[in-house]
Structure 1
Amino acid sequence: MDITLISKSFQTNTNGLGSYSKNLHESIKNNRNLNIRQISQNNTLIKLGQPATLFFSFVEIPLKMRNSDIYHALSPMESFYLDPKKSVVTILDFIPLFENTEETDKFKNFTKFFYEKAVKKSIKFEKIITISEETSNDLKSHYNVDDEKIHSIRLAIDRKYHPKNIKNDIFTIGTVSGLGSRKRIDILIKSFLDADIENSRLLIGGKGHMLDELKKLANNDPRILFLGFISDEDMVDFYNSLDVFVFPTIMEGYGMPIVEAMACGKPVITLEDAYIPHDIKKRTHISSKNNLANVLKEKNFDCDIKSNLKFSKEFSLENMGYDLIKVYEEML
């Protein structure tokens, strides 16, 4: 079976789509019945932001297309030139349609426009893969997609995530994400400063356009450390260095850092107004924005660490690959 996987990136150092695409490929690459080809933006001529996305979608993909039994667009933006009868699409979420336009990116409105067009094109595909029941329900309710076309398949996390039982001499709070407005790292910084916990520190991993603004908010407090991009090799040690992981985002397709932190045996805090799939959010300590400082100060997190550790094992490459291949086989 010839499978063509199409994604902007198969690298984890780009964004959530890059991590998803890399793990999807990892989950099926050793199947002897599959001949897998990748089309990606990794070697594109245009490297920066939304212009590169549009160039890839409308110029590179049609130039790189070859005959295949099945085409798998790993987001709707890769769907424009695919034959619906031979294609499957993954729809991770509808965040591009709902998040606020960033003033730093004048192409964001173009992306929203084309993403909507891409969704309407891709829902005609033979199969649709989602990563949460929430996205599946949105497809049924807002786009009238038949339930039988939709397959909800859990994401996978790397096998390397596991508890190391590191003992801290200092109470360590941490987060990792892109430093954009949707992630709401400013709420965490303000809450940490308000809590003013003795012998504590806040570790912030990630990069993004709000970095300077967040550093200004931190006001050179030596307890707040901006770590920049954290490599794959260092992520396990990062999670294990924490006493609690805080994910203050307003909206996520799923929220894989939550699962990774759970796989390392850490309690996780989310905010009550966050739109995060219920099956993962219910396993976190849910706090209001106004009460986050008190939650951090009290250090009493309502999380079942043992149950969450078991739950995280459901996000395996083996499970993901098995479910994907079943979808592919149904298309032939």
Structure 2
Amino acid sequence: MAITGQVGDFMGGVIGSLWALAGVFLYFSAIKMQNKELENQSKFRREDRILDSIKEFENTFFALLASQQRIKDKLSADFYDAKFDDNHKLCEDKIHASGNNFFYEAYLVLKKLYSFCERDSFKINLKPNNELPYATQKEDRKRIMKNYSEDLAVANIGFREIHFERVKLKVDELNKCKAIYILYFIHYSSTIGHYCRHLYNILKYMDQVKIDILVMVRNNFEGNERIVKMADVNKRFKRYAAFLQSGLSMSEMGILFYNSLIYPKAKKLYLRYNLLENLQDVYLIKSEHKDLIKNFKCKSSDEMIEILLA
């Protein structure tokens, strides 16, 4: 019995120690699992905060898009062009345009103003029918009609000889385009000005939210997971910019292009989000104007045809 008791005490001591050691391992394993669970919960909370920020942005962004469309639809103005009447006489044609048609007519005025400033001297002739009897060739009649159309446009926006002379003092194309657009923009500031400011503030808001979300990702994730999530954020905001761009007509993009020449902050955002990437060079006043903005990529009709037919 004494020997058996000793064996029992020995076995009890060994087994008890093993159970105690197992209990220690189980305890630390439970703590490790608990820490992992807390870490996962913390990770989910961080992701939820980012998703909540994106959701809040989307609600505001699409509301701003709807507001921008309402501003665009309400834009309207009277424009003046030349036409031949039933008696083959040139006369003034009044056009009331709104929405997309407003931008189409407004951009034509900008082109006419530029063409007018290409003349050698300031001369507005609002009585073109005095010249028509001497226009024996078809090209002469086209020239008279074109000049009359330009004269009507510049007279309507209050373009004067002193403005013409100041534009003529600009020796390089960039400053010339800036001067012409500023004079043009002053006349349409109550319409195009409001539209451009609202569009700029949408882009500014979008850019700031993107920066804020990228900072959240950078502060809450590491390694490859951080890279993946930052790439996802960038893709998201490219899609938002695509939504904004999809509502722009060629005339709108043309006006925004020349608007960016005098507003560098807007130009920076236009380039960052490729807002004007679908603008073709044939829709600029001159195709070489695409080079007025550094790093601006403008599509060429010839290049597009080659790509599609390759």
Q: TM-score, normalised by structure 2?
A: 0.23
Per residue, is there more helix in 1 or in 2?
A: 2
Structure with greater Cα Rg: 2
Per residue, is there more strand in 1 or in 2?
A: 1
Q: TM-score, normalised by structure 1?
A: 0.22
